[in-house]
Amino acid sequence: MKKVKEFFSIPKGCLLELILMVILFGVNEVLAFTMPYYSVHKAYYDGGAYGVVLILVLLLCFLRLFLTKKKSAVDLGVILFAFFLLWEVSYKAGLVKNDLLIPSPEGLFHVFVEKHEELIKDVKGSINLLFFGYLLAVVLGTLLGLTAGWFGRIREITLPISNVITLIPPLMFSAYLIMILPTFRAAAIAVIFFAVFWPTFQGTVTGVGRIDRKVIEAARTMGVSNVGMLFKVIFPYCLPDIITSVSRSLRGAFMCLAGAEMLGMNLGIGYFVEKYKSLADYRCVLAGIVTVGIITTLADLLVGKLRAVLIRWKD
């Protein structure tokens, strides 16, 4: 009972901000369901999806507050609900008249109800491509990074090459890869591979270079072979650097994937955005952008949790 009470306790000094956040939430909900809004193109949408989004934002702010006990969780909620309120009032008061380029909150979030099957299909397609390209790049980048970091001659050959290639945006390869590879799927996986492989390789090499020589000498005195040294000693020691590199490259990999999908794929969230951009349906374009933001945020949180579990001994 005491633990439950502690969990639901709030930090001192944030009660007023908490009340303000709840008031802003309530005003947004009232405006979403009661106030009619002006639209040049008479594009009216049900406010149910928007109302659900507001509730989810409120719950997430409370959850963040209870978990972290930080006032910033409430501050973030106030800023978000103030933004939603400004957006809603500007639209319903007729200040925003071009509802094709700037949709109403109701119109934007209604896309997730109206086209949920299409969005789910495209998100699954993007995650599928991301998984294979990402996994391949991480495995090969780690193996080559361990080898190059341990064997100086290999490092002297591969590191200058990686320093040059990492300066080139991976998306620049996409147009060429689409032409030379047999399928758009293979081209998209190759773009992800370029986006992840080299940062993973360099992060691993850097980690190997920072290893304490006393650890190596101790392993040698125990008769550990080169292969054993790589996978039983060096790899665990470099794991924090590897996961950090993987985490940093994750967002870039998804952006590269979305860009590649926009160039020629017929599936994926990038294709979804490009498709509706060509149809001048900017509600769907913005919904696709919001979807990318949600996916990359969740993936980043997942990698962060994985890092905390795998390298708990580092703390």
Domain boundaries, the chain: 2-114, 116-314
- Give pLDDT, residue 53: 92
Identify whether the C-beta of residue 150 lies closer than 8 Å to the C-beta of residue 230: yes
- Give pLDDT, residue 58: 93
CA dihedral 282, 284, 290, 293 (to 10 degrees): -100
Between vectors from CA 312 to CA 242 and to CA 5, what angle results, nearest 5°? Answer: 130
**DSSP code of residue 314:** G
- Give pLDDT, residue 313: 53
Q: What does R_g of the chain's alpha carbons equal in angstroms? A: 25
Distance, CA of 315 to CA of 308 (rounded, Å): 9
Distance, CA of 25 to CA of 27 (rounded, Å): 6
**DSSP code of residue 233:** I
- Give pLDDT, residue 25: 94
- Give pLDDT, residue 41: 54
Residue 34 phi/psi, 5-degree rounding, is -120, -35
Residue 45 phi/psi, 5-degree rounding, is -130, 150
Write out residues in the chain with pLDDT < 50, as ranges: 315
Distances (CA, A) of 266 to 77, 188, 192, 224: 37, 12, 17, 51
Distance, CA of 315 to CA of 309 (rounded, Å): 11
* Residue 67 CA from chain centroid, whole number: 21
pTM of the model: 0.80
Q: Environment class of residue 182 by beta-carbon count within 10 Å: exposed (0-12), middle (13-18) or buried (19+)?
A: exposed
CATH value of 116-314 in 3.50.50.60, 3.40.50.2020, 1.10.3720.10, 3.40.50.740: 1.10.3720.10
Between vectors from CA 213 to CA 208 and to CA 218, what angle results, nearest 5°? Answer: 115
Distance, CA of 196 to CA of 288 (rounded, Å): 23
Q: Which residues of 105-134 are buried (b: 16+ CB within 10 A; e: fewer)?
A: bbbbbbbbebbeeebeebbebbbebbeebb
Identify whether the C-beta of residue 198 lies closer than 8 Å to the C-beta of residue 253: no
- Give pLDDT, residue 311: 64
**Residue 241, both tokens:** 């650097």
Asked whether the CA dihedral 285, 291, 292, 294 is positive or negative, the reply is positive
